[in-house]
Structure 1
Amino acid sequence: MRIAVVILNWNGILLLEKFLPSVVQYSPEAVIYVADNASTDDSISYLKAFFPSVTIIKNDSNLGFASGYNEALKQVNADIYALVNSDIQVTEHWLKPILETFENESKTAIIQPKILDYKRKEYFEYAGAAGGFIDQYGYPFCRGRIFDTLEKDNGQYDDTREIFWASGACFFIRSSVYKALHGFDDDFFAHQEEIDLCWRAINNGYKIKYISRSVVYHVGGATLQQGHPTKTYLNFRNSLLMLTKNLPKEKLYSILLGRMILDGIAGFQFLIQKKPKHFAAILKAHSSFYILFFRFYKKRAEFQNDKYHSVKSIVYLYFIRKIKVFNDLFRIK
């Protein structure tokens, strides 16, 4: 089974210097690519000088995460794509349990490893942790991370299990499924496109898995910091667009209405916290959503999975019931 590790890069020479050596050292099973989104730093010359074994793919402009990978993967011939952020440190034998699962489970289409925090290695990392889920209103959360609360890794998620979405920070997918589903949605640009792709895979009968025996460490926020208003804009906009594409039709409008009300509450919270730029980002996200609604409605598939969420409202459970740990979500009455 051929596997390609594909690292998307944009002006990330410092990250390549720091993290690419671990990928090269611990990935003997893979062919390694760097897909460059028209960097203006010395990324390309650095790769040519110090990593001649790494294949470079040059995109003509900064296409973001979704289009950047869609364009680059047209030039990659492999059975499995391993899409890896440039700020990921991998560990020895990280590919072995992933490949074994793909070989033994034909319906498993997408896999995520355990993602720990590079800065605090005993904690789970924000972007994926031990596998992702969404609530009834499309808010994402993870085993090991709910909103901004990160759990310490005490072995509580040392398992292999089905999840709803896998993190784009370290995302394994069968190339045949990627092509059949037409890859990431270009209109997302960045943020939550991996959740959309996972949802479409589930709607087509595939499984998403988390495998704890594969471990990586993620810096997080290396390209766009967690508290950046642009990140707020993209997350809120793309989440609404994702719901429009993938919700069962009978639930679409009621869930969208509920979600937009919750977004409004979040916006006023930003004002109270004296973060007007984030309030403005939510207004901009909703305005953009109105403009794009019919375009995304036309993207809806014939079948939509009705069992898309694990809890009704993670906002209520986290902020009102004060439940901060994933395993506690299912112990409440």
Structure 2
Amino acid sequence: MENQTNQPSPENIMKIGTGFWASKILLTAVSFQLFTKLAEKKTMKAKDIKDFLGLKCTDRNTYDFLDALTAFGFLKREGILDTAIYSNTLDTDMFLDKNKPSYIGGILEMMNNRLYTFWGNLGEGLLTGLPQNEAKKSEDFFGLIYQDPEKLKEFTSAMSGIQMGNFVAFSQKFDFKKYNTLIDVGGSAGLLSIMVATHNPHMNCTSFDLPPVQPIANTTIQQFGLSDRVKTASGDFFTMPIPGADIVVMGNILHDWNEENKIALMRKAYDALPVNGAFVAIEGIIDDERKENVFGMMMSLNMLIETGTGFDYTFADFNRWANIVGFRTTTLLPLTGPSSAAIAYK
């Protein structure tokens, strides 16, 4: 963020430079399931939190940890130090209680368990253009994830967490009146299909992903009681055609790949659609001037860490690819925060 005053100030430099401190405090609290416990107990004293978490640090360290979370807006506090009583905020109670379906902490858990360490090698990634994750030991990052049931469970939970707000927004903002069927390509746990079916009773949806993901999606669909209108299908979207539907959605899929593969996937979506059908890419679409959506640019760097060649993109990029494929028209639908739905109509 550019300094708008006439006097030099180190404030923003230090704020960003120490940003990983703040990040690690939140990620650690999520890994401790602190917000889940507070949702259960409603309020807790610092000593009780320390005992619950099994902390061996000093009381002062505990206060620092909890009060930093309070200052960030993640906890509420009455009293101070040994008299302090802590509780969740409205946001953390809704989104960081693991027992609620609105939980988005899966992406934060993956950030803590995987990405935090890998991002320490961002410089190496920029210098070499190579991924900095598990793929350092194997060329097939996604293969490694899908072979390990625990990693796969964490990954699907992360993808659900980062997109849940967008899925709800899309299911409410997009005009589904002209359509009856939707297929979510790379549908992970099936939440987009579930949200669309929940808010649009006439819609029948399919969550399409690799075979190991199908049981996870089926379990989620059953939990929401939508097995009559939300189905699963399995396959590799690079080696087989995408099943036909009125709407083809890809959430956080296109950014995994280089430009050639992005266009190839959009072409597959085009082939799966009827005339007037809609292709939807839900991602952190970067503003065309590349000045505002910092999250989109950071996510693009995360694709360097994860894949080496993937990147996030602007709406202008999307328009160019849609034109190459043959789509008739495009539009951009803002969703939540820095994310949007880039839509191309056949």
Does TM, scored on the shorter chain, surpass 0.5?
Answer: no
Larger Rg: 2
TM-score bracket, shorter-length normalisation: under 0.3
The structure richer in helix per residue is 2
Which of the pair is proportionally richer in strand? 1
Structure with more contact order per residue of length (Cα contacts < 8 Å, sep ≥ 6): 1
Structure 1 length as normaliser, TM-score? 0.27
Taking structure 2 as the reference length, the TM-score comes to 0.27
